[in-house]
Structure formats: structure tokens, C-alpha cells
Amino acid sequence: MKIVKTRDYDEMCDLAAQRIIKQVKSKSNSVLGLATGSTPLGVYQRLVSDYRQGDLSYDRVQTFNLDEYVGLSPDHPNSYCYYMRENLFSHLDLQPANTHLPKGEVGEEVCRQYEEKITKAGGIDLQILGLGLNGHIGFNEPGTSFSSRTHVVELDDSTRIANQRFFNSLDEVPTHAVTMGIATIMESREILLLVQGEKKADTLQRLLEGEITESLPGSVLRRHPRVTLIADEGALSKVETSHLNS
Ligand SMILES: N[C@@H]1[C@@H](O)[C@H](O)[C@@H](COP(=O)(O)O)O[C@@H]1O
């Protein structure tokens, strides 16, 4: 894993946005895997400002999001569909038919169709990932099999509490979500893992220095041949310096 340590959140977002822009410039029909949460917000803002300069078109780009809550309609302000529309999709010249999120519904068929769409698009060229406090990627909670594909998950209490900040109360946070599986994520040709802030320092230290284990889903990324971790000083504060230079 290539590790890039940044001074702060802004620098992390600058580097991540540059990597995505480079991807779309070099392949106009790129397939991007996208994440939600607080971490990628600054990256999306930079993509939008860059797009407004007028040099780059996303007309042929396809996007696949990692996950969606079960039970929230696409117009619900806390659905990931709404988040993506507000923060990215409506600001670029992406074709609506080329932006995909898993349907927030329980059912094997829904999950199978999502996998098929990714395959039909030719697979994901560049997947953006954040990291949950408990080490989850997408919504693959600790204990999820490394061979999992797109599936419905019951969210951990800790994840619902962590995401409560976006809702009025804990009761409103959905109990289930649909997420790309770990095997699905690992099939991406390249992965950009973004981690910000001291509160994730312990998780990131375990991810980089601990065992590769299903108890910490993000640790699987050490088996992927092309992962770049971009993290700020706070997030990397507990990682051995020798590790950073290797
Ligand atoms: N499902 C999302 C993940 O895709 C995201 O990476 C993670 C971290 O979120 P944040 O960036 O807000 O810390 O939690 C959420 O639950």
C-alpha cells in the first residue's frame, strides 16, 4: 500500500481530487466507485470547482456508489442518493443514467442486479473509500466475509451512533443498508483510501499494522496491489514512522 501523509484535510482533498481528475482525463469513459460520509465532501467540492473551469467533461463517465440505506427514498435528505445529487452529480455533466447507487431495498435480486451493472460497465477503474470508526469499508461491518458480494447488512450500533449526526435522532437512523461486498470492492483496479482525523488513528493503526482479519474489514486492502492511502497527520499519528516510509 502506498501511503501519502498530508498536513491536513485540505491537502488530502487536493490530492484525491487531482487523482480523480487525472483518471477522467486519461480515460473519458472511466468507471468511478464513489463513497459518502463526511470525508469525501471536500474532494467532491474540488471536482465541482475544477469542472467549472470548463476543461473536463464527465459525459462518458459512469459512477457506482458503495452503499445506500434501506428504507430511505432517493429524495430523503439523508439518503446517499440525495447526498450524491446535492454534492456532486447535479454539478457535473454526468448522464443521470450513468450514475448508479444500490437500491435501498432488501432483496437478493436488487443486489445481483447491482453486481451485473458493475460487470457490464467493465468493472471499476478507481474506487474511492472512506473508513468507518470500527474499520468498516462501504457498510461492510466487522465480521463480514472477505468473499462477500453486494448484500444487505444490519448496521452495528456503533455505526448508527457514528452516523446519528446526520439525523434528528438515533431512532431515525436506518437499521439496515445495502453495500457492495468486500470482494466487489477488491475487484476495483485501483483504490484510493481517504482517512482524516485523530479519532480514526487507532483504527488506521490496526488496519496498517495489525492482522489482516475480517474483524477489521479495511485490513483486507493490504492484499490489493494498487491501493493509495491518503491520510492526514492526525489519522496517521499512531502509525510507526518506519511503516510510512516503506
Ligand atoms: N457507509 C459510510 C462509509 O462509506 C464511510 O466511509 C464511513 C466513514 O464516514 P465518515 O467519512 O463520515 O467518517 O461511514 C459511513 O458509514
How does pLDDT run along the chain (246 residues), one tens digit per residue?
Answer: 999 999 999 999 999 999 999 999 999 999 999 999 999 999 999 999 999 999 999 999 999 999 999 999 999 999 999 999 999 999 999 999 999 999 988 889 999 999 999 999 999 999 999 999 999 999 999 999 999 999 999 999 999 999 999 999 999 999 999 999 999 999 999 999 999 999 999 999 999 999 999 999 999 999 999 999 999 999 999 998 777 755
Nearest to 193 by CA among 101, 111, 105, 131: 131
**Structural domain count of the chain:** 1
Residue nearest ligand 1's atom 14 by CA: 132
Distance of alpha carbon 232 from alpha carbon 225, whole angstroms: 22
Span from the CA of 222 to the centroid of ligand 1 (angstroms): 19
Looking from the CA of residue 40, the nearest atom of ligand 1 is: 11
pTM for the model: 0.96
User: How many CB atoms neighbour CB 211 within 10 A?
Assistant: 9
The active-site residue, picked from 136, 163, 187, 214, is 136
Ligand 1 binding pocket (C-beta < 6 A) is 35-39, 66-67, 130-132, 138-139, 159, 163
Measured CA to CA, the distance from residue 40 to residue 3 in angstroms comes to 17
> Whose C-alpha lies nearest to ligand 1, atom 4?
138
The pLDDT of residue 105: 87
Does the annotation mark 134 as catalytic?
A: yes
pLDDT at 225: 98
The alpha carbon of 55 and the centre of ligand 1 are apart by a number of angstroms equal to 30
- Domain harbouring 21, CATH code: 3.40.50.1360
Return the pLDDT at 241: 78
Which pLDDT value is given to residue 245?
Answer: 59
pLDDT of residue 242: 74
Q: Output the pLDDT for position 12.
A: 98
Among 66, 127, 131, name the best residue to mutate to test ligand 1's pocket (greatest count of ligand atoms within 8 A of Cβ): 131
pLDDT score at 244: 75
- Tell how far the Cα of 56 is from the centroid of ligand 1, in angstroms: 28
Return the closest-CA partner of residue 246 out of 208, 206, 204, 219: 208
169-201 burial, b at 16+ Cβ within 10 Å, e below that, comes to eeeebbebbbbbbbbbbbbbebbbbbbbbeebb
pLDDT of res. 243: 73
* Relative orientation angle of helices 41-52 and 9-26, to the nearest 10 degrees: 50
- The per-residue pLDDT for 52 is 97
Which numbered atom of ligand 1 lies nearest the CA of 138?
A: 4
Q: Which domain holds residue 16?
A: 2-211+220-243
108 is catalytic: no
Residue with CA at minimum distance from ligand 1 atom 9: 37
Q: Which residue has the CA at smallest separation from atom 3 of ligand 1?
A: 138
